[in-house]
Amino acid sequence: MAPDRPIFIVAPPRCGTSLLYRCLASHPDAGYFNRADRIFPESPRLARWATLLGLLRDEPRESRALWFRFIRGRKIDVAGPEDARPEVRDWYERRIAAVLALRGKRRFVSKLPAHTAQIPFLDALFPGALYVQSMRDWRAVVSSTVVKGKRDFGGGWFGVRLPGWREAAAKPPHLAAAWQYRAAHELLDAEAPRRPGRFFRVRYEELVRDPRATLSRLFAGCGLSAGEEAFARLPADIRPAHERWREVLTPGILADIEREHGDALRRWEYDGAAVPGA
């Protein structure tokens, strides 16, 4: 049986998707893939026992290996309806149904930056799926992407492999990161109108400033309850937004980004008002 309106968080890395994922996954009705599900993809029951016995922590994970199980080896992360073959759809339906049943949950939530490039594929797998686009000040995203790319990826590509990513990767890190932010959100802006009533936007700055109000709106849109039990297990480490991007993005770097992407990036600039189209 197909899962009821699974919820997919979409956005490039460093847009606040991890916090949003943890918030949604903390809802009492929500199930998700954890580390055990990744290690034992063919045995949801074994994965569940490994979690219950404390051998592996029960935390929501991105689970790229599971979502790329049938589309490995590609140079880009794009997947379309043609990839949602009957056997592929059957595998995901059965795995997700088992995860939900073993946990006594009724809704499934997933977060993976590559989901940004795979909405047609996910729609074909799960007609009626919901999408949550996580938005964040592009300066904070570019700065954080540059820092993490240098620290954890040796300066190599960090993020979604959208068409054109190799050309972007050859540019200075700040321009590559700005390109990724722009390309990902332009793609999502194009996908959203095709799915009226199924696409939601959440601002990271609003989420950390007022988690309860922001999540109440999101829960309502996703058909999740918004009673006290929905907020009882929210992450305890939600902190206000900061401007540490100023330590990385010097005036010269900002001017460089402005020359190449300024007109496009201004579309998503944030001044405390609601994001257009939200």
Q: Given pLDDT bands bounded at 50, 70 and 90, which one contains residue 267? A: confident
Give mean pLDDT, residues 84-101: 97
Q: How far is CA 251 from CA 93, 255, 260, in A?
A: 50, 6, 15
pTM for this prediction: 0.94
pLDDT for the residue numbered 276: 34
Do 134 and 16 touch, CB atoms closer than 8 A?
A: yes
Give the tokens for residue 27: 């809802």
CA atoms within a 13 Å half-sphere pointing along the CA-CB vector of 165: 19
Q: Taking 50 as the threshold, does the pLDDT of residue 277 lie above it? A: no
Catalogue all structural domains in the chain, each as residue range(s) with its CATH number.
7-268 (3.40.50.300)
Whether 147 has a pLDDT exceeding 90, the answer reads yes
Give the tens place of pLDDT for each residue, 17-43: 999 999 999 999 999 999 999 999 999
Average pLDDT on 50-75 reads: 94
pLDDT given at position 8: 98
pLDDT tens across 166-210, in order?
999 999 999 999 999 999 999 999 999 999 999 999 999 999 999
Cα 219 to the center of its chain, rounded Å = 16
Per-residue pLDDT at 273 exceeds 90:
no
What pLDDT was estimated at residue 270? 59
What local confidence, expressed as pLDDT, does residue 65 receive?
Answer: 94
Could you report the per-residue pLDDT of 234-258, keeping only the tens digit for each?
999 999 888 899 999 999 999 999 9
In angstroms, the Cα distances linking 19 to 37, 124, 150, 235, 253 are: 20, 27, 22, 8, 28
Maximum separation of any 2 CA atoms in the chain, in Å: 55
The string of pLDDT tens digits covering residues 253-262 is: 999 999 999 8
Rounded to whole angstroms, how far apart are CA atoms 245 and 208? 17
